[in-house]
Each structure stands twice: as C-alpha cells, then as structure tokens.
Structure 1
Amino acid sequence: MMIEVRDLDVVFASGKQENHVVKEVSFKVARGETLGIVGESGCGKSTLLRCLAGMERGWSGEIALAGRVVSKTRSREDLKCAQMVFQDPYGSLHPRHRIGTALAEPLKAMNHVDIWQKVDKALRQVGLPAGFANRFPHELSGGQRQRVAIARSLILSPPILLLDEPTSALDVSIQAEILNLLADQRDERGLTYVLVSHDLAVIAHMCDRVLIMKDGRFVDELTKADLQTGVTHHAYARELFGASFI
C-alpha cells in the first residue's frame, strides 16, 4: 500500500471551542490508485489532505506513506514522498517571485544540483515553454499557473500527489486540460493520487474509488462502476448524487 491511515483524529481548540474536524478515519490507497474524497465544505476533506502532506500536526492516529510510518514532524524524505496541489493556483504562488524561483525552491531545499536544467525540464513536462521561468504569476493565465503548481509538486519526483480541488478555480474549458495533464503524469510516472473535490464529474473522470465524507467521517465507499451508474449505499451519498453535476 502507498498510503495507510488508521484512526486519524483531528481536534482544533478545546472545551467549548472544540471542533472535532476528522473523526477516527481509516483508509488505504494502493500504489498507482487514484482515490477521491467527496463531501460538503467543512466536512474535513482538506484537513485530511494537510495531515497527509505534513502541513497539519494536530492529529492523532497513524499515517504510513510508501510503507513507512511518519510522525507529525516530517523528515526530508517524508516530505519528498507526498506533495500537494492547491485549489488556487494564484494564491499558492508568490506574486513577487518569478516562476523559475518558485520551481527552484524545493530543489534548493533538498540540496539538488543542476537546478535550472531541472526547472526547464519540469516546465516542459507540463506543457509550458522553458522561457516561462522568467515570468511572474500575474503574467500567466489561471490554467498556466496551475500547470506551474503541478510542475512544482512533481519536481522532487514524489510517488504521491495530494490534489485539493485542483480545477475548481479554473474555467470549465481549462479544467479538462488540467485533468488530462494530471492523468497523463499519473500514468507516465506510476503516481498515486488522493483527489478532493466537490465536483462528482471530476471524481468520476479521475478516480478508481471514492470515499464520501460527512462531519469528519467516511459514510460510503463507491467503486468506479458505482460512480458511472449512480449506485450509492448511504442516504447522504444519494443526496450528494442527487444534487451533483454528473
């Protein structure tokens, strides 16, 4: 298994202010699989991704990535294992840093050599000219910025990519391009994805399996065939399907 999560709990604050965001969640993701997680805003989806990425430390339970149990404080090797693509491609890129600087940053942090050759290669791999390294984020379209964000997440060659609503901030015409890029990268590199989305059409297009999340817990699990035929096993999942875009 590439990802194994057991009894994951996340609680923010305490006492009267306590917010139990993720509640004893357990799941596994096989190598090369794309797992979707669907649910309403605030149900705990993004918090779960942040725990996997090492960005959220206020959790209890057990997380294993690529067969190795990780702690709340990650080593360099742990951080290289799972990288994240965020919802807003503009907000996730520093507005005053050139694209090349943004892509070089993780390479420098991991003490890589031949950094600028790797930056050029990373841009070409996501369908952008190497010359984009000299541009600023505001000079790129939303789709181009998200391609840069994907290039940055892949530049350290992680086996796991965590995708938090990667197309929701984009025009519909651009969404398919980004999804196809992600699918191509997954197939070429043998990547494992966890994809969070509100859009069940995106989930159905990309995912081998989907977990339905409500109030911090998984209440249903659907196969790709279930997604394509609209089969559900829980009332909340049926409600989501009824209100969705599939």
Structure 2
Amino acid sequence: MIEVEELAVAFGEGDARRQVVKSVSFSVARGETLGIVGESGCGKSTVLRSLAGLDRHWQGRISLAGRPVDKRRTRDQLMLAQMVFQDPYGSIHPRHRIERVLAEPVQAMKKGDGWDRVASALEQVGLPAAFAGRFPHELSGGQRQRVAIARALMLEPEILLLDEPTSALDVSVQAEVLNLLSDLRDERQLTYVLVSHDLAVIAHMCDRVLVMQDGRFVDELTKDDLKAGRTHAQYSKDLFEASFLA
C-alpha cells in the first residue's frame, strides 16, 4: 500500500539548512499497521507529513496504493491518505460546528456538499448524530479526537496517518480511542502508519515498528520482538529501557 524509496527532507538554506530525514526507505503492506518511534525531533512526524502531502520539501519516491505521487498532489492522490493529528484541540476550528468540520473535506475535494454523510460519520466513531450541531469546546478531548478521526475518514481513504493520536488525551480515554482505531482498521481494511513515543501504544497497535534516530531508521522490530522486549540496536535498547523507567 505504501512504498517509500530514499525519502529525504531538508529545511532552510545555506548555513541554516538542516537535513531532517536522511534517505529512508520502507514499505507498508495493505492492512498493516506500521509504527515509527523515536525521540522528539528525530524526523518521524516529517515522514508522515510527506506521505500526507502536507510537506513538499521531500526528495525521493513515494507510491501510495501502487501509484507514484507528486510533491504537488492531485485531488485523487490527496484522497488516498488522510492524517489524524496529535492535538484534538488545535486541529479542529474552534468556531465551526462539528457538521461543518466533517463536511469541509468532502466539499474541498469537490465530492458533494458532505452534509448527508455527517450523521453516519459521527455514529461510526461512537458519537451521537446530535453532536453535529455542537462546537468543539462543547466536547471532551476524547470526543474531539473521535471527530478528528471521523473527519479523516470522510473521504474514504485507504491509508490513515496517525501522529501521536492519543498523547494529548487523558489516560482513561486513550484506550477507547485506540480500540476505536483498531475496530475501524479491521472493518475498513485500512492501512495505518502510527507515530508515537508511547511504546505501550505501539505494542498494542502495530504489526511492525521502525526505530528512528536523527533522521534515519536504525532498527526494525516485529510484533514478536516487541512482546519479548527484543531489540537489534543499542539505541533501541536505550529507548525501550528509558520508556519502562519513566
């Protein structure tokens, strides 16, 4: 479903130029959940933004659903992959009612007005259809993140890109959101790329994990590796030990 070859991303010019992602290659099978872990600033969110088409600074090759995509995406290319952001408070317009939040992607892609899909979109993420008339401040953090997930699904993408989707939520609702994502993946045969610093989240959700350090992948772990606490690089070992000690 996803093929990435020699992806490189740099920002700035001259002496201020910084290479954030350094020629990484990976693939994700249809229906698989790939995790990317690493310290803050290592480049993992930049990889997601490049896949989503939000960042055009990348070099290399990206293919989604067997089709190469360009830095400047067509509407059809943009609809292949949608992103769920970390902050459910900052990723939804505070002055728009939920119905507008959900209808807007459909309108932007010229696929209709979107209003007829709002009620079912809310219900599929476990929210009452009546929430369509509410404003974001009238919802809890977990409810807002459910709205963000519903918005990402409005265009019926084959790929969801999840950037720390539960880190801004209370521990009590994190499991609910993760279970929702698991159920949606199974129901819709979705492919996920999940970025997280929380190794418990990664172990719960992911079939395979890439460990990132300073813009490069330094280790790859299977689900069995995660269960056994087995790593293949010193950085991975240090990362896991620091997580368990925290």
Give the structure-1-normalised TM-score: 0.98
| Structure 2: runs of 5+ lacking an equivalent | none
Partner of 2:74: 75
Partner of 1:23: 22
User: Does residue 172 of structure 2 align to residue 173 of structure 1?
Assistant: yes
Q: Secondary structure at the match of 2:146?
A: helix
Larger deviation: 159-168 or 8-17? 8-17
| Structure 1: runs of 5+ lacking an equivalent | none
> What is the percentage of aligned positions where both structures have the same residue?
72
Residues 199 and 245, structure 1, Cα contact 8 Å, conserved in 2 = no
Provide the C-alpha distance between the structure 2 equivalents of 1:121 and 1:204, rounded to a whole number of angstroms: 31
Provide the C-alpha distance between the structure 2 equivalents of 1:205 and 1:187, rounded to a whole number of angstroms: 14
Which stretches of structure 1, 4 residues or more, deviate above 4 A after TM superposition? none
Provide the C-alpha distance between the structure 1 equivalents of 2:91 and 2:137, rounded to a whole number of angstroms: 12
Partner of 1:146: 145
Provide the C-alpha distance between the structure 2 equivalents of 1:6 and 1:20, rounded to a whole number of angstroms: 16
The one-letter code matched in structure 2 to 1:176 is A
Partner of 1:133: 132
RMSD across aligned C-alpha pairs, in angstroms? Answer: 0.9
Partner deviation per Cα, 1:90-149 (whole Å, 9 max, x = no partner): 100000000000000011112233622211110000000111110000000000000000
Partner of 2:61: 62
Give the structure-2-normalised TM-score: 0.98
The one-letter code matched in structure 2 to 1:95 is P
User: Does residue 219 of structure 2 align to residue 220 of structure 1?
Assistant: yes
Q: How many residues align?
A: 245
Provide the C-alpha distance between the structure 1 equivalents of 2:114 and 2:28, rounded to a whole number of angstroms: 32
Partner of 2:197: 198
Partner of 1:238: 237
Provide the C-alpha distance between the structure 1 equivalents of 2:198 and 2:115, rounded to a whole number of angstroms: 36
Provide the C-alpha distance between the structure 2 equivalents of 1:177 and 1:240, rounded to a whole number of angstroms: 26
